[in-house]
Structures are given as structure tokens and as C-alpha cells.
Amino acid sequence: MDFEFPPELRMLRDAVRRFVERELMPLETRYANEPDIPDEIRHTLQEKAKELGFWAFDLPEDVGGGGVGAVGMCLVFEELAKCNVPAFRAPTVLTPYLGPVLFHCNAEQKQKYLLPVARGEKRTCFALTEPGAGSDPAGMRTTAVADGDYFVLNGTKIFITGADKADFVQVFARTVRNGQDLGVSCFLVDKGTPGLSLGQSFELVSPDRPWELLFDNVRVPAAQMIGEVGQGWELAREFLDMGRLIHGPKSVGRAQRALELAIAHANVRHTFGQPLAKRQAIQWMIADSLVELHAARSMVYHAAWKVDRGLDYHLEASAVKLYADEMLIRVIDRAIQIHGGLGLSRELPLELMYRDARSRTITEGSSEMQRMIVAAGALSGRYGVDRFDT
């Protein structure tokens, strides 16, 4: 087994690390608690990323990307996650928020939607969650009723990140033709389409501000459907699997920063004539955090390795999200405890990191949902314990 990253990926990681330190960290104190960075700053950073050859590093080469694969993508996201500018938006200075669904577009759709997003000319969002249907597609109430060469969409989506700035929406709806339910399908709906509107925004414990999207008799050409009728949940699962995997390096990067802050403080803070680092209670906190961080990192790159080899990683994606997100909460919690009262203040990034970490065990599928997926795979016999040997 080879645990060493290829030289080109190590160079990419180191270059991104310098970019984060020089370009993003100086913005942290000003924008860390904002849901987004100003567009003019984003565009400037994107141009710098293009000059440095970073832009769209994770996308395939045939759409103008860097083609670094899942392992390379995780390396970059781990570095980006160390900075609080803003946690949900920082990756968009190096790559567009795109998702795997758009790669299933036909040739005409790719020209109109996929390629402009890949070039950074358009922005999109992913609309799946509903008031009564989060991880359960059976509860989806948004419908797309066939009407000649169109589908008429009605329903509500909630917690849609980036909906306010999206040029088009990737929306999932239960498809109906002649009164028959044909399953969930995915549609591309342009901003400004009559009947499509923003509802309320949601202030979360993290700085993210997702939106409600309202569909009121929105007429969408049948040509705007991605893939086949009823293929939507298959496309959504592909999006969710990749999204859950990406939670891994983001949690690892943030946990790494929290641990480094805790170690630095333990070495310089003295109580009763000794540094905190000499206290066994503190040592055990550091040890537990280091061990859990190492375990999460190993899980992340094992899963990414499977992605790059075209292997099924559905179970690994859920396992990574479950463990890495819960690990992050524990590591940050210990770091705050080690800092004492200072850890609770906004003088340090830990309190923001903690709020952000708490949200991660719910977004992209709750921890409970991930446990259900892993348990179902194990109990059905579809996934044996030797699965992790490959």
C-alpha cells in the first residue's frame, strides 16, 4: 500500500496552502461571520487563482478543469477549510459550485449551463430539500406535471444555499404525466422564469444563509430535464455522495487548525507555575484529538482513493461524513476548553468554528441518516467488513 501523495498533488497542496495564508487569512476577521464575501473580492481572487493555475482544479480537463481527481480535491478542500472565509463559500474562489449532476447534461445543456459554470460565468444551486422531505425522497411534494412540451412545477424548497445569487436552479420534483407518478426528475430552471421566486432566508447557527425557493406554476420546457424521466433520485444520490465525502476534508482541515491552536496555547499558558502542556488532563485532550483526526483523515483519503478508481463509495461517503463531522465537534470543543474563557470569545476563531461544526452534523444528511445508511448496508449483507480492504 502506498500512502504517499504524488509529487504533483503535494505541490498543489503546498501552493494552495500559501494562497490561503496570503490571500484568504487576511480577510478572515472581516468576513468570517458573513454568509458570503463581496462579489468584487471573489472575482479578484478567482482571477488570481486562474493566473496561478488553480481555477477549477477539481473539474475534468474536458471542461477546462485541472483534473486532479478526488484525492487532489480533498487535499485542496482540507487547506481551504483552515480559513473562516466564509466556510461555505471559500471553495468558490478556486472552483465553481457545480456538483456532479450537470455532467449528465446533454450536449446543448452543457453549452448553456455546464461550461459557463465551469468558466465562472454563471452560478447555480441545488434544490432538493423540502419542509417535509429532507433525506426522505418519499416525502417530496414538489411536482412537475407534464403539459405538452413543458412541465409545470409547483412546490417549495428550503435551506437552499446560494439560491439568492444563482443564475439557474437544479431542482428535483416528482414527475406526473396523465395522473401517473413517474418518479423524481431533475430540471434546470433559469432565474427570472415566471413563477420562480425567493422566499425567506434562514439565519442559522453558522454564518450560512440558505433560502426558501417557491415554484408557482413554473413552466419549464421538457428539454430542460437532465437525463431521463424518473432518474432524479439517482442523480441526487450521486450529488449527495460527493457532498458527504467533501464534508470529510473540510472537517479535517478545521480540526487541524483547532488542534494547532490548542497545542500552541497549552505550551504558552501557565497555571500554578507550570504550562498547561504539563497537565495530564490537557495531554489527554490533545492525544484524543490527534488520534481522532488521524482516523478521520485516513477515512477521507481512502474514500477518495476509491472514487478515483471508479469504485463504489456510497457506504464510505456516509461513514466519512458521520465520523469526520462528529470528530470535528469534539476536537473544537476540547480546544475551547483548553483556552478557557478566551476560547469562548470572538478574539479567536474557535467559537465560530464550533457553530459551523454543529451545523455539519445535519447538513447533507444528518448523522442519524448516515448511521441508517451504514447499518442498512451492513445488515443487508451488501457491504461486508472486508469492503474496507479495497
pLDDT one digit per residue (tens) for the chain, 390 residues:
678 899 999 999 999 999 999 999 999 888 888 878 888 998 899 999 999 888 999 999 989 899 999 999 999 999 999 998 865 566 788 988 888 999 999 999 999 999 999 998 999 999 999 998 776 767 899 999 999 999 999 999 999 999 999 999 999 999 999 999 999 999 999 999 999 999 999 988 887 889 999 999 999 999 999 999 999 999 999 999 999 999 999 999 999 999 999 999 999 999 999 999 999 999 999 999 999 999 999 999 999 999 999 999 999 999 999 999 999 999 999 999 999 999 999 999 999 999 999 999 998 889 999 999 999 999 987 665 555 555
Helix (H, G, I), strand (E, B) or coil at 112: helix
pLDDT score for 316: 95
pLDDT score for 387: 59
Helix H or strand E encompassing 286 = helix 280-308
- Nearest by Cα to 104 from 10, 190, 16, 186: 186
**Burial class of 297 by CB neighbour count within 10 A (0 to 12, 13 to 18, 19+):** buried
Q: State the Cα torsion 349-325-292-354 to the nearest 10°.
A: 20
Q: How far apart, in whole angstroms, are the C-alpha atoms of residue 163 and residue 161?
A: 6
- Model pTM score: 0.92
pLDDT score for 208: 81
Inter-residue contact 233 to 256 (CB < 8 Å): no
Residue with cell 422531505: 133
Q: Is 364 a residue of the active site?
A: yes
Inter-residue contact 207 to 34 (CB < 8 Å): yes
Q: How far apart, in whole angstroms, are the C-alpha atoms of residue 359 and residue 160?
A: 14
Q: How far apart, in whole angstroms, are the C-alpha atoms of residue 145 and residue 348?
A: 52
**Burial class of 96 by CB neighbour count within 10 A (0 to 12, 13 to 18, 19+):** buried
pLDDT score for 263: 98
Residue type, 389: D
- Nearest by Cα to 13 from 239, 297, 245, 241: 297
The catalytic position among 78, 79, 364, 368 is 364
Q: How far apart, in whole angstroms, are the C-alpha atoms of residue 342 and residue 146?
A: 59
- Nearest by Cα to 210 from 194, 199, 221: 199
pLDDT score for 135: 65
C-alpha cell at 118: 465551469
Bridge partners, residue 271, by sequence:
274
Bridge partners, residue 120, by sequence:
none
C-alpha cell at 227: 437525463
Nearest-10 crossing angle of helices 280-308, 232-268: 150
Inter-residue contact 148 to 142 (CB < 8 Å): no
Q: Taking the CB of residue 156, how many other CB atoms lie within 10 A of it?
A: 17
pLDDT score for 207: 79
pLDDT score for 25: 92
